[in-house]
Amino acid sequence: MENIGLVGLSRQVALQRELDVIANNLANLNTTGFKQDNLLFQEYMMPVAREDSFQRGADRRLSFVWDRATVPNMAQGAMQQTGNSLDMAIGGRGFFVVQTPEGERYTRNGSFEINAQGQLVTKQGHLVLGEGGPIAFEQNDIGITVGRDGSVAASGGLRGRLRIVTADGAGAFEKAGDNLFRMAQGVAARPAEARDVRQGFIEKSNVEPVLALSRMIEVTRAYQSLATSMERHDQLRREAIRSLGNASA
């Protein structure tokens, strides 16, 4: 394939990847606590391939498009009041800590429930951890209340204090699937100093549908324009080969 085709193909792959990311963001528009993904693009200078030139030493290195990484946007989503005593949202920074088969994971989805053992769990059944371990209620507990500092109490008394953690650095938390996060390699979680737990609220997705749809249209048009340009270039090349073949005849 000619160099111009390789450069165009690299851009097409990057645009297709961006479309996939935008589509996933829109699909999770109503997912509680979801953080939208953004793509990081970087120029990649090919160390071997060169632009065609007859002058030795005048060739320039080819520049390709590289979708280097997908990073979550940690901006806070809007708070929605539900009135459910087991719904909780964090104002500002911080993550709830849950126990999964793969170890501790972190989430902003505070839509919790109580399992058959009286333990506070996520909708997927993962234990919600307090500072002293899983938070559990007694069978006759009623009137569950959650303080702004994360303390959980019921009619039978204090049942624990939600463990809320944070970390320094933009890439400290990485997505681990199922609306959960894990710590990046070499990063340690630390207790959140400022706490603002709001009972009866959930944090909505931070995806902005109008902006996401606008970007999807832009990316789609860019992809179509690039595909048309590459097709025209290929057509010109075929016509040139055909003309040269006729001339030699």
Domain residue ranges of the chain, discontinuous segments joined by +: 3-74+207-248, 79-203
**What are the residues whose beta carbons fall under 8 Å from the beta carbon of 154, sequence distance 6 or more?**
137, 138, 141, 142, 143, 144, 145
What's residue 132's pLDDT?
A: 92
- Residue-wise pLDDT for 106-137, tens only, equals 999 999 999 999 999 999 999 999 999 999 99
What's the pTM?
Answer: 0.79
- Residue-wise pLDDT for 5-59, tens only, equals 666 677 788 888 899 999 999 999 999 999 999 987 666 666 655 555 444 445 5
Q: Which two tokens stand for residue 245?
A: 């073949």
DSSP 76: P
Asked if residue 94 lies in contact with residue 161, where contact means CB atoms within 8 angstroms, the answer is no
- Beta bridge partner(s), residue 181: 106, 175
Q: For all residues of the chain together, what is the average pLDDT?
A: 86
Asked if residue 147 lies in contact with residue 76, where contact means CB atoms within 8 angstroms, the answer is no
What is the strand order of the sheet 145-146 is part of? 145-146, 151-154, 157-161
